Structures are given as C-alpha cells and as structure tokens.
Amino acid sequence: MNEASVHPLKRLWRRAPRYRSRVVRGSIWAVLNQILDILPELLIGVAIDVVVRQQGSFVGQWTGIEDRESQLFVLAGVTAVVWILESLTEYLAQRAWRTLSQDLQHDLRMDAYGHVQELELAWFEDREAGRLLTILNDDVNQLERFLDVGALKILQTATSVVGVGAVFFVISPLLAVLAFLPIPVIVGGSLIFQRRLEPRYAAVRDRAGRLGGLIGGNLGGIATIKAFGAERRESARVADASISYASANREAIALSAAFVPVIRIAILIGFMVTLVVGGHLTLNGTLEIGMYSVLVFMTQRLLWPLTELGETLDLYQRGTASLRRILDLIDAPVAVRPGTRELPPVGASGVAAGGNVDAASNGDGARADRRDDDRASRGRAVSFDDVSFVYRDGDGAVRTRVLDGLALDIGAGETHAIVGPTGAGKSTVVKLLLRLYDADGGTVAIDGVPVPELSFEALRGTIGYVGQDTFLFDGSVADNLRYGEPDATDEQLRTAAEQAEAHDFVAALPQGYDTPVGERGVRLSGGQRQRLTIARALVRDPSILVLDEATSAVDNETEAAIQRSLLRVSRERTTIVIAHRLSTIRHADRIHVLDGGRVAEAGTHDELVARRGRYAALWAVQTGEVATADAALD
C-alpha cells in the first residue's frame, strides 16, 4: 500500500509507538472527566426528587435517612466529591494531552529536520526553502493545536454522547430514541463537511507554503531587490501570494462557518421533543418530575457540545492536512546513503603512496621543493574513472548532461587544478567527490576506495571544502572557524587564520575572534568572508583540501596573499583547486582543462601554454595578450 494514501493519523500511530501508552492514559483521564462532568445533571434531578417527593425519595431509599434536610446534606457531600474528582481528572487530562502535543511536535520537527539534512542536494533544487520552513514551523504548530485542543474535545464529545445516551435509555427508552434522532443528521453533516473541507485546507497549506517560499526568497535576496529598485514589484508579488492564501482560507471559512448554524437547528428539534414529550409523560404520571428535569438538562448535555464539532472539525482538518505534509517530508526517500567503510591510514594505500609524481618534476621551484615522502605522508590520492553525470528535473528527466567519461588521477600530496568554460562541470567534480550527488556511471575513489562505500564521517571528515558561496553562520568569528572542528583550540584557530591571511584583519576587529559576523557574515567584506571560509577548512587539518573558486571574491592583493598561503598549506596535503583566475593555479602540479564533459588536455602551466590549445587561449584572454594583438592589427 502506498504510505501516502494512508490516513495521516494512522501513519502517526504506526510511527510513534512510544507515545501510545501516553495516548491511552490521557484518553482514560479524559473519559473519566467527562463522565464526572455528566453527574451534576443527575444530582440536580435527585435534589429535585428530594424536594418534590414527600417520602420515598431516591436518596432516602439509598441511604435510609428519612429527614429530607439531612438527605440534602448527603447530596451536597456527594456533589462536592464529584466536583473535586472532576477538577482532578480535568487537570490530569489537560496535562497529559498538552504535554503529549508538545513532546510529539518536538519529535516530529526534529525527525523532519534531521531527515531533510540527510536528503541529497538534488532534492533541494526542486523545492523552495520557504516551503520547507512552513512545514517545519507552521505545519508542526497546526498539529500541536489539534492535539492540544481538538483531540481532547473529540474524546469528551464521544464520551458525552455515550454517557448521556445510557442515562436516557435507563430513564425512558422512548425519549432516548427521540432525543437521538438529530444525531445521525449531525454526524452525517459532519462527514459531509469533513470531505468538503479536506481539499480546501490542503489548498490553504499549499498556498501558505508558496507564500512562505516567496517571502523567504525575497528576504534572502533583499540586496538584489534594492539594487534593481524592485521593491514595489516584489511587494506586488507578495501581495498576490498573500491574497491567494487569504482566498483559500476564505473558501474554507465559508464552509466551516456554516456548520454550527446547521447543527443548532438539529439541536433545537431534539430539545423540543424532550421538552414536549417528556413533559407529557410527567403530567400523566409516567415519568417522575426529578427524572424529567434530568432529561431536560441531559438533552443540553447530549446535543449542545456537538455545536463545537465545527471548531473541532476545523482543527482536525487543519491538523491532518499539516500532518500529511510533515509525514510526506519525513518519508521522502534518501537517494544518497552513506557506506560503512573507513579510509586506510594515510600512506598505507599503494595508490596514495605512489601518487603521480612525474608532473611535480616539471614545475618550478615551489613544486620541486616538495619531497615525495612528504606528499604520501599527509595527502590522499583521488581518482575519477570514466565518470558520467547528468542533472535531472524533479520527475527524473535529464536536464543537463555535464560529465561524460571523465578520467582524473590526483596523486597523494599533489596540487591539481581544474579549469574550463562555464558549465564544463568543474564544480560538479567537487560535488561528486563530497557525495553531494552520486555519479551516474564510473567510479570516484579516495585511496582506491570508492566513495559510495565510505561512511560520511570518513569521506567528508578527510576533506576541507571551500565553496563559491562564502557562507558564514550567525555567530562569532571563532564560532565559524570551529564549525568543522568544535574542539579546536584558540592556537589552532590563529594558525589557520594566519595561513589564510585572515589573522591581521580579525585581530583588528572590535572583539577580535569573538566579534559577531552577522547573518551570512554581512558585517564583513566579501574578501574577509572568503578568507575566513578558507581558514575554517584549514582548522580541520584535512588530508584533501578542495577550493572551489576560493579567490573569486577577493581583490588582487588578497588573491596574491592567499596564493602564498596556499603554497604553504598544500605542501602536506592533496589540494584540488577549481579556478577561473588562471593566475591562482600557475604553480599546480597538474592542470586539467574540462570541455565536453571530459578532460580535453592536461599538464603543467608551462606545458599547456606551450601547447597553444584551449588553456593557452584562456591564458591569453586573461593576460591581455589577445587584446594587445587586436590593437596591433588595428
């Protein structure tokens, strides 16, 4: 059976076995509370019986007390006990259900968030962050409101119907049948309302997700909105989405608001029947006055709570619609799952120890200074063997074919650069190495171990990654530097910052390493953020350092400083550099030029320039040689 077709409350019951005993316990307290809540109406009838009947009252027969005032004192004592027990069970029921709703909403939120973090990067490409935020926050809160209020009301209403019905049938089966006649109308109307409300509330949740996604995206791109003077246009888009959300809510409200007036008519009919028929039976002496009083009050107790069914139904529909979205998110399949293998000790693998050392001897002094045993002692070998990869749409259709038979061999301890035109697949190579995606064909391996076989801790723990997006978390400089190594010492932070040419500007900040950087690092310049992300990667002291356009947001002076630091930090580890600025990778042991999904040419900087191929053309453009030649022709 498709899990998505199962009722969400049934799915929740299966998913949360440890809450079942708490649900049962809370239900027991709720049922006992409602039974005790019915007893005062019976006690009113018994009191009237004591006052009206001269002798032989129910209390007198039950207790053997003949004095009617004494009977009333006894009745008052019983009433006090009932009210105390009712108050106690109400407290226990309320506490049980409210704490249950709080704990369950916390667990569901954390289950959903934890599962989202396990999903592959491709899953996020077809979904808006704002919609996910709506599910994790608003939908979870909707479920909490239902469990906190609606579930308890359903239990109390059901208990009231059963308990009052039992009293009616004991006192007068005829009146019981007549009083219960409106209930099928009420239940049938409720089911009709439920079926019609369900799609309307599903639409409400969907439009709430759209609105949340739009607002979230706009807040994230507020600088772009201001730069293009698009404030009015974006306000209009948000207004349209908000109106759409309000319209969906109005459609649901128009139907749910009609529920109570319809139920009132049914209640009126039931009350009139009890009033007239019961009064007739009492006047004929068939029914005692006290019991008649009980039934009149009980009619209210039986039917009037059903007017709240509209509000309860409203909470139920909103809650189940939200719960379905939460569970669908939790049940989203994970395409990229970790393996179980660990990496061999550094240098233990033949691949790692061997490396590709030929290219190192062809470079300048900076490369020649490295000893081969140094490389094997710290770095790890990386290989791409006949790797292919395509980006797909949410329905699985091929969107872009990026890699086609890619072959790369990166020796342990070497620095390799990957260049090529936009869309050649440079960043995709890094994503496959980190297993943010899985290759469609071929093998990506570290020290000869295919990355799908590695645990995420082994794979990503050995890689220090610096991406194009210089993302910093809202916290201090030190908090961000420790992100990949929470136990790093202050000295380790300083060393990494110095290696990334970041220490001087950090020391000049008002609070030094304790200075808050703001959300996404907004209090720092682009170059400062870039250098901190490099330092953050270095704090982990990784065997493999991956720099994806790591100098894209820095000025020429900072770029030169970072180049110097990279020459130092890459001596003892494998370094993969993705670059558009070719000046940053001149000293790489080997440069790979991607084109058409595979390596078009490879070699050192000097070899590739001399070859006068694709790399030489890119170099000529960046150094201005093409412009100089064109000027000479003019």
DSSP per residue, 131-167: HHHHIIIIIHHHHHHIIIIIHHHHHHHHHHHHHHHHH
What pLDDT is attached to residue 54?
A: 60
Interior angle at CA 422, CA 612 and CA 618, nearest 5: 20
Please say whether the beta carbons of 293 and 40 come within 8 A: no
346 has a pLDDT exceeding 80 = no
Q: On the CB side of 18, how many CA atoms lie within 13 Å of its CA? A: 3
0.85 surpassed by pTM: no
CATH code of the domain made up of 11-330: 1.20.1560.10
Residues 6 or more apart whose Cβ sits within 8 Å of residue 37:
86, 156, 160
Strands 598-603 and 441-446: unpaired
Fold adopted by 350-462+542-627: Rossmann fold (3.40.50)
Q: Cα separations (Å) of 377 from 372, 414, 444, 470, 567?
A: 9, 12, 22, 30, 17
pLDDT at 352 over 60: no
Q: Are strands 574-578 and 415-419 parallel, antiparallel or unpaired?
A: parallel
pLDDT score of 530 more than 90? no
Q: What is the mean pLDDT of residues 529-542?
A: 86
Q: How far apart are CA 173 and CA 163, in angstroms?
A: 14
The per-residue pLDDT for 469 is 75
Angle in degrees, CA 517, 523, 528, rounded to 5? 80
What pLDDT, on a 0 to 100 scale, did the predictor assign at position 409?
94
pLDDT on residue 608: 92
Give SS3 for 524. coil
What number is the average pLDDT over the span 509-515?
Answer: 90
Chain segment 228-256, per-residue pLDDT in tens: 778 888 899 899 999 999 998 888 888 77
127-147 residue pLDDT tens: 766 678 778 888 888 888 888
- Indicate whether 351 pLDDT > 60: no
Query: Residue 401 belongs to what H/E stretch?
Result: strand 398-410
* pLDDT band with cut points at 50, 70 and 90 for residue 632: very low
73 Cβ contact list (under 8 Å, min separation 6): none
Kindly state the average pLDDT of the residues 481-507. 88
pLDDT for 433 beyond 90? yes
Contact present, 604 and 591 (Cβ < 8 Å): yes
**Tens-place pLDDT, residues 147-179:** 888 888 888 888 887 887 787 788 778 877 777
- Encode pLDDT of 43-90 as tens digits: 777 777 667 666 666 666 677 777 777 877 887 888 899 889 999 999
Task: Name every residue whose Cβ is closer than 8 Å to that of residue 28 and which is 6 or more positions away in sequence.
Answer: none
Mean predicted lDDT score pLDDT of the chain: 80
Which band of pLDDT confidence, cut at 50, 70 and 90, is reported for residue 410?
very high
**CB-based contact 366:567 (threshold 8 Å):** yes
pLDDT at 310 over 70: no
Enumerate the H helices of 331-425 as residue ranges: 350-354, 365-368, 372-378
CA distances from 132 to 337, 471, 510 (A): 21, 20, 37
pLDDT at 633: 31
Does residue 29 carry a pLDDT above 90? yes
Per DSSP, 454 falls in state B
Under the banding of pLDDT at 50, 70 and 90, the label for residue 486 is confident
User: Given a cut of 70, is residue 474 above it in pLDDT?
Assistant: yes
CATH 3.40.50.300 boundaries in the chain: 350-462+542-627
- Local structure of residue 344 (DSSP, 8 states): P
Largest CA distance in the chain: 128
CA–CA separation, 402 and 442 (whole Å): 14
Mean pLDDT value across residues 101-107: 89
Residue extent(s) of CATH 1.20.1560.10 domains in the chain: 11-330
Confidence band for 629, pLDDT divided at 50, 70 and 90: very low
Per DSSP, the residues of 250-286 read HHHHHHHTTHHHHHHHHHHHHHHHHHHHHHHHHHTTS
- Kindly tell me the burial class for residue 476, based on how many C-beta atoms sit within 10 Å of its own C-beta (0-12, 13-18, 19 or more): middle
Residue 294: pLDDT over 80: no
Q: What is the pLDDT of residues 543-593, one digit of tens each?
A: 999 988 776 656 667 667 667 777 777 777 899 998 887 878 888 899 999
Lowest mean pLDDT of 269-278, 322-331, 496-505, name the range: 269-278
pLDDT of residue 360 exceeding 60, the answer is no
